[in-house]
Amino acid sequence: MTTPLLQVRDLRTELEAGVDTVVAVDGVSFDVRPREALGIVGESGCGKSMTAFSIMGLLPPGGTVTAGEIMFAGQDLAKMSPAQLRRVRGHDIGMVFQDPMTALNPTMTVFDQVAEPLRIHTKMTRKQVRERVVETLHLVGIPRPEERMSAFPHQFSGGLRQRVAIAIALVCQPKLLIADEPTTALDVTIQRQILELIDDLRSRLDMAVILVTHDLGVIAGNTDRVAVMYAGKIAEIAQTRTLFDAPRHRYTGGLFAALPERAANLRAPLVSIPGTPPDLAHPPAGCRFAPRCPAATDECRTAQPPLEGAGSHQFACIHPLPETSSSPTKRTATIPVAGYDAVPLPIGARKDVLVVDQVRKDYPAPGSSLFGGKQRVSAVAGVSLTVAESETFGLVGESGCGKSTIARMIAALERPSQGRIEVLGADLFAASKKDLRRRRRDVQLMFQDPAASMDGRLRATGVLREPLTIQGIGNRESQNTDIATLLDQVGLPRRFADRYPHELSGGQRQRLALARALALRPKVIVADEPVSALDVSIQAQILNLMRELQREHELSYVFVSHDLSVVRYLSDRIGVMYLGKLVEYGPAEYVYRTPVHPYTQGLIDSAPTTEPGAVRGEAIRGQLPSPMDPPSGCRFRTRCPRAQDICAEVEPDLLEHAPGQRAACHFPLRSLPLTVVGSEGVERVS
């Protein structure tokens, strides 16, 4: 056992919130050893980020470390002056923030931002600084760093911006790296690259890492130990494999049970943790999880359980889960290949409510001439799909593949350059402006960020009244009745009608967004990444609600996401997009369990898994090509390990490889002839 690099003992951090004092971190203790990766996981508001900010001395105004020690390399960071902290921060401890776009200075070049810590903390010459910056940018995987370091952050993709943020944190070769949600907004392919990069640098630089996230899959594959936080306290801490195999705290078990990939039946509701975390200005007297815990007793509500246990596995729970690998949170068997009773194959028998036929969307390329410029960017290049009554069609792919563009065209926010979109048998765009507004009632859009899509000056009542008023539906009295009904349907208390969007939690805002989408009684709802920023427990609540409303109102969904486990759970069929084209589609379980296209397999292999130590396939390498100049033939060939000469010459057609499953690939991974056997599902035929 090596001496800990970082020792946090009984840390208490308080925030002034008006007349109240919020205890954001309450008695937290843990160690981090050299080259060790510690994960801190939990719901939003549990104190994860505040713990990290307390270590860094970056608390918001009104925030203070009021008790405890933060011993780093023999020095107590909590007792340092701001000047002393500045000498440590950036040199011995680096930090990667959640959103690189807000963490980076848009007015400074990449070189200046990466060089800044060296200029502050070292006495390197200008030549030495340049050499170290180039070396660090190369280390984090920035292509052609000598050429690109003079660019500005907005000229980089999301993944490259995050690499720049990591380079800033690493340029002084710190002993400890704190990464606060470093991959939350990234595609699974970029996410895996970033996490593998951090893990590789940890070994090469003898660096310790604290990884803060709400994603259990990220924790499982990239940490040695895990601390689960709830309401400002550590609920459980253990070795990663031990925690995932046999969690003991009821809260940890609830987080695992809410994961879509651990659902025992893909058609059953997800297990969700009821309620919300407590107000830390007025926390409950006993166990802080007791108000949401199904096993809570009177003792739990009056006494705070200590953090205790055998060896390195400690938990603070009076009625813990049994110490066995057969715990109810352990992965349960998924539906076998032979027996797809949960997959409604005869979708073709239902009436199509949405038809997308050979749709293209082209935009003028940046820098095109104002007078007669011909260069175009093809965001969507000939996509066809159908969505039947009460069906959920999942659309997945990397950022820039055209998913959101298709979503906006289906919702009539963009007009196709070519092709046809039919809703309920009528061409959506072959209508007058007045008729188009009326037809928009049938298709509504749920945006990725509900806060940004709502007028912050309107209360919830105004947000829900707006579509009714624009469409001329009802008078004020009937609208009030409809608003009350909508709030009931999405599970929001009616008293929330007078609240502004910023006064609601993330899950509550998403419920309000769903209520607004339902206001006009549409037949199709296009949901663009509706749960990507939510904690797993809140995500489970929203997904359950969407399914319940689908059954109640016979809704059809187009569900856009990069999270394959969520898409698999919610969708009847999945379509996989790459660089503006649909490369594979079919029944959700077929596409997920027996993918045909190498790109689909790459997405599945890149997605984080909650099985520590699980063997994962080769990740997709390289960057997405520019849609201004897509590769000839198969667009995926520049990143495909199976590509041959024909892939550059001939564009593959979407061919059927199993009933209802098509893929566009010259060298498919498999072609599985399947036969339907009665009502029991599908059986594989060799």
Span 527-575, pLDDT tens digits: 998 888 788 888 888 999 999 999 999 999 999 988 888 899 999 999 9
677 has pLDDT over 50 = no
Percent of the chain predicted with pLDDT > 70: 91
195 has pLDDT over 80 = yes
Q: Distance (Å, rounded) from C-alpha 313 to C-alpha 301?
A: 24
**pLDDT computed for residue 341 by the predictor:** 34
417 has pLDDT over 80 = yes
Cβ atoms of 563 and 384 within 8 Å: the answer is: no
Place of tokens 């502050």: 120
339 has pLDDT over 50 = no
621 has pLDDT over 90 = no
674 has pLDDT over 50 = no
Q: Distance (Å, rounded) from C-alpha 541 to C-alpha 547?
A: 10
More confident residue, 505 or 76: 76
Mean pLDDT across 57-62: 91
According to DSSP, the β-strands at 426-427 and 556-560 are unpaired
Secondary structure of residue 70 in the 3-state scheme = strand
CA dist list (Å): 106 to 99, 178, 213? 13, 23, 26
Place of tokens 């608390």: 59
Mean pLDDT across 253-269: 80
In residues, how long is the chain? 686
Helix, strand, coil shares of the chain, percent, nearest 5, are 35, 20, 45
Q: Binning pLDDT at 50, 70 and 90, where does residue 369 land?
A: low
Cβ atoms of 372 and 345 within 8 Å: the answer is: no
Q: Binning pLDDT at 50, 70 and 90, where does residue 675 land?
A: very low
CA-nearest of 298, 211, 239 to 248 is 239
More confident residue, 626 or 303: 303
Cβ atoms of 194 and 163 within 8 Å: the answer is: yes
Strand partners, 418: 360
Q: What is the DSSP string of 10-56?
A: EEEEEEEETTEEEEEEEEEEEEE-TT-EEEEE--TTSSHHHHHHHHH
Secondary element (H or E) of residue 423: strand 418-423
**pLDDT computed for residue 349 by the predictor:** 62
Place of tokens 């038809």: 355
**pLDDT computed for residue 386 by the predictor:** 95
More confident residue, 621 or 31: 31
Average pLDDT, the chain: 87
Q: What is the DSSP string of 75-99?
A: EEGGG--HHHHHHHBTTTEEEE-S-
DSSP 346: G
**pLDDT computed for residue 120 by the predictor:** 94
CATH of domain 346-684: 3.40.50.300
Mean pLDDT across 48-77: 94
CB atoms within 10 A of CB 376: 15
CA-nearest of 54, 60, 119 to 80 is 54
Could you give the residue ranges of the DSSP H alpha helices within 365-459?
A: 403-410, 433-439, 450-453
Mean pLDDT across 83-102: 90
More confident residue, 148 or 262: 148
Q: Binning pLDDT at 50, 70 and 90, where does residue 329 land?
A: very low
Query: Each residue of 237-268: b (16+ CB within 10 Å) or e?
Result: bbbbebbbbbbbbbbbbbbbbbbbbbbeebee
280 has pLDDT over 70 = yes
Mean pLDDT across 483-491: 92
Q: Binning pLDDT at 50, 70 and 90, where does residue 217 land?
A: confident
117 has pLDDT over 80 = yes
Phi then psi dihedrals of residue 13, to 5 deg: -125, 130
Q: Binning pLDDT at 50, 70 and 90, where does residue 681 land?
A: very low
Cβ atoms of 416 and 409 within 8 Å: the answer is: yes
More confident residue, 293 or 370: 293
**pLDDT computed for residue 54 by the predictor:** 96
- Number of helices (H), then strands (E), in the chain: 23, 25
Mean pLDDT across 337-345: 34
Place of tokens 């969690």: 247
Place of tokens 């807000």: 102
**pLDDT computed for residue 264 by the predictor:** 54
**pLDDT computed for residue 191 by the predictor:** 84
Q: Binning pLDDT at 50, 70 and 90, where does residue 185 land?
A: low
Token digits for 170? 């690493």
Token digits for 341? 């009773």
Mean pLDDT across 334-352: 46
Q: Residues 575-618: pLDDT tens digits?
A: 999 999 999 999 998 999 899 999 999 999 888 888 776 777 77
- pTM of this prediction? 0.84
